[in-house]
A and B are shown apart, each in its own frame.
Chain A
Amino acid sequence: MNKWKKKPHTTPKPYKRPALSGGGFGGRSGFFLARAVTNIRQNIFVNVVTIGTITLALLIVSLFLLVFINLESAVENWSERVQVTVYFDKEPTVQEQSSLREKISALPEVSHVGYVSRDEALKRFKKRLRGQETLLDGVRPETLPASIEIALKQTYRDTMSVENFVISLKRIPAITEVQYGEEWVRRFNSFITFARLLAALLGGFLVIAVVFIVSNTIKLTIYSRREELEVMSLVGATRFFIRAPFLLEGLIQGIAGAVLSLILMFVLFELFLQNAGSFLTFNPADSGLSFLPIEYICGLLIAGAALGFIGSLTSLKRFINV
């Protein structure tokens, strides 16, 4: 006979039921964390797939953000060219100059005022025609007008504000001729508006796609373990007890995905900086391209954590109904 049948007669001493370990999340957080880590180890394949999906998804988002941020800073540089110039037929006296500068500076839109004398104007002209200075041999400073160049604050660089500014500028006596490249400002601003709209639209679609893909991946991983959810429920686990390890697992997956995507993004960015010089007309290392600022990095980490956590939460709601 097998030895099993004899066992009941040598019954071990009845076991005294021990006291429960701490209740609530505080008392069991260690257990939940251990459970989550064990789950990840035991379901390594689905976890690798999930983390990989989150990594790729966030990589796309961070790439988008990186391009967006660098374009924004480029746009900021370009918009500095939105400049209003006041021309004078006669060169104003030093007193006139300072009183005009004062009046112009008092306008709220102005960020910087610079006076360009006739000599200065000729110098600039020559600089522009470098190599063919001889063309300007007969030109004397008096043939060029003196001017005041006005740079505008960033918020006043759109078409409407520039036009309004010019109107208020013309109210100052002694200012007659004002130029600001209307056509260029208008085109530039409508391009910026269009580009921002396009970026918002693309970004929106991207976020929707990412949320959809990640939540479906998580749903599949939880679906593959629905038996475990059922068994836990049948042996008397509370909803919270069933969910907590899965939520922690989602959180870990999300953060791991975000960290991996940022590392990958950084490596790609550095590689681009080092190698793009050979196929681009400018050297990106000197062009002021920057990596994501720290707020965006934190934002992506939080987004990853939230994706994992909320994805798990909504999927669990579907499968725990016992």
Chain B
Amino acid sequence: MIQLHNVSLAYQQDASALSNINLKIGKGEFVFLTGPSGAGKTSLLRLLYAALTPNRGQILIDGQNISRMTAPQIPLLRRSIGVVFQDFKLLQNRTVFENVAITLEVLGWGRGDIGKKTMYMLKLLGIESKYNLVTQRLSGGEQQRVALARALVNDPKILLADEPTGNLDDANKNQILNIFKEANIRGTTVVVATHDRRLIEQSHMRLVTLNKGEIVEQVEKETAYDAQAL
């Protein structure tokens, strides 16, 4: 599903954000990206949804080389990728419903279908009662769920999440993790960047550790828990 070959990225000529990354993520996999702040987690995610282009190397998503994509092809790629941003990127003066519906509007769905699917998604995330509130009046956990609903409403092939549990309490973290797992069970490939050790330990999923722009450790699924326990 996702393949990176010798990918390097530098924001400025001297400081390289990522160097020589080789990574394969299969269809339906659940992967945690971890590492200290500035390790390159966010940069790696941004490469995957084509917000950045690598200086060197190839990125294949679902067989398509995104480093060679033309500007009009990028929107089509992004429609199959749901992204949850660290800062949510919700439209503050719009309602919860409008924030989620925007993904489907972009796809050209009809009004009735958008209404049904959006409410279905809000229900799944337990925020259907807030559908008519503007997002700036929601709590952090609720905003996080709206961001998730927006990313998932389209049943994306890939879900990318950047520090999705950044400032949530434990109860909320567990709920968010469950939503990721359910999306994963429905067939979505999930990549979560986080430095939340507890989240990773609880989930027993594949773990990729970055440090200073390089992959320093990869732990496969199932053994992840033992590896962390050592």
Q: Are A236 and B178 in contact (CB under 8 A)?
A: no
Q: Are A238 and B89 in contact (CB under 8 A)?
A: no
CB distance from B4 to the nearest CB of A (A): 20
- From A12, A22, A235, B78 is in contact (CB under 8 Å) with A235
A to B CB contacts below 8 Å, 21 in the list: A4-B126, A5-B175, A7-B125, A15-B116, A17-B155, A18-B110, A27-B108, A42-B94, A227-B92, A231-B90, A231-B91, A231-B102, A232-B106, A233-B78, A235-B102, A235-B103, A236-B75, A236-B76, A236-B77, A236-B78, A236-B79
CB distance from A10 to the nearest CB of B (A): 9
Q: Are B72 and A238 in contact (CB under 8 A)?
A: yes
The answer to whether B41 has its CB under 8 Å from any CB of chain A is: no
Q: Are B126 and A234 in contact (CB under 8 A)?
A: no
Instruction: Report the nearest A residue to B106, measured CB to CB.
Output: A237
The answer to whether A135 has its CB under 8 Å from any CB of chain B is: no
The answer to whether B97 has its CB under 8 Å from any CB of chain A is: no
Q: Give 1 or 0 for each of B94-110: 1 = CB within 8 Å of chain A CB.
A: 10000000110111111
Chain B contributes a number of interface residues (CB within 8 A of A) equal to 43
The answer to whether A138 has its CB under 8 Å from any CB of chain B is: no
CB distance from B209 to the nearest CB of A (A): 27
Q: Are A12 and B117 in contact (CB under 8 A)?
A: no
CB distance from A280 to the nearest CB of B (A): 51
The answer to whether A173 has its CB under 8 Å from any CB of chain B is: no
Q: Are B117 and A241 in contact (CB under 8 A)?
A: no
- CA distance in complex: A20, B113 (Å): 10
Residues of A within 8 A of B93 (CB): 42-43
| Top-10 shortest CB links A-B | A4-B126, A236-B79, A236-B78, A237-B106, A18-B113, A20-B108, A235-B103, A236-B75, A238-B75, A21-B110
CB distance from B181 to the nearest CB of A (A): 9
Residues of A within 8 A of B110 (CB): 18, 21
- CA distance in complex: A210, B91 (Å): 32
- CA distance in complex: A238, B103 (Å): 12
Q: Are B102 and A232 in contact (CB under 8 A)?
A: yes
Residues of A within 8 A of B178 (CB): 5, 8
- From B49, B106, B120, A241 is in contact (CB under 8 Å) with B106
Residues of B within 8 A of A131 (CB): none
- Given A12-B123, A237-B75; A230-B108 close (CB under 8 Å): no
The answer to whether B229 has its CB under 8 Å from any CB of chain A is: no
- CA distance in complex: A203, B89 (Å): 45
CB distance from B78 to the nearest CB of A (A): 4
Q: Are A15 and B117 in contact (CB under 8 A)?
A: yes
**Interface of A with B (CB < 8 Å)?**
2-5, 7-8, 11-12, 14-15, 17-18, 20-23, 27-28, 31, 35, 42-43, 227-228, 230-239, 241, 322
CB distance from A40 to the nearest CB of B (A): 13
Instruction: Report the nearest B residue to A28, measured CB to CB.
Output: B108
CB distance from B219 to the nearest CB of A (A): 27
CB distance from A13 to the nearest CB of B (A): 9
CB distance from B160 to the nearest CB of A (A): 11
Q: Are B117 and A235 in contact (CB under 8 A)?
A: no
Q: Are B106 and A18 in contact (CB under 8 A)?
A: no
Residues of A within 8 A of B49 (CB): 234
- CA distance in complex: A173, B93 (Å): 88
- CA distance in complex: A231, B85 (Å): 10
Instruction: Report the nearest B residue to A5, measured CB to CB.
Output: B175
- From A2, A23, A31, B126 is in contact (CB under 8 Å) with A2
Residues of A within 8 A of B108 (CB): 20-23, 27-28
Q: Are B109 and A18 in contact (CB under 8 A)?
A: yes
- Given A20-B108, A31-B105; A8-B123 close (CB under 8 Å): no
- From A12, A31, A227, B124 is in contact (CB under 8 Å) with A12
Residues of B within 8 A of A8 (CB): 124, 178-179, 182
- CA distance in complex: A145, B228 (Å): 123
- Given A23-B108, A227-B91, A322-B51; A3-B71 close (CB under 8 Å): no
Q: Are A235 and B150 in contact (CB under 8 A)?
A: yes
CB distance from B49 to the nearest CB of A (A): 7
CB distance from B137 to the nearest CB of A (A): 15
The answer to whether B191 has its CB under 8 Å from any CB of chain A is: no
Residues of B within 8 A of A42 (CB): 93-94
Instruction: Report the nearest B residue to A10, measured CB to CB.
Output: B123
Q: Are B106 and A236 in contact (CB under 8 A)?
A: yes
- From A12, A20, A234, B89 is in contact (CB under 8 Å) with A234
The answer to whether B31 has its CB under 8 Å from any CB of chain A is: no
Instruction: Report the nearest B residue to A43, measured CB to CB.
Output: B93
- From B72, B83, B120, B179, A234 is in contact (CB under 8 Å) with B83
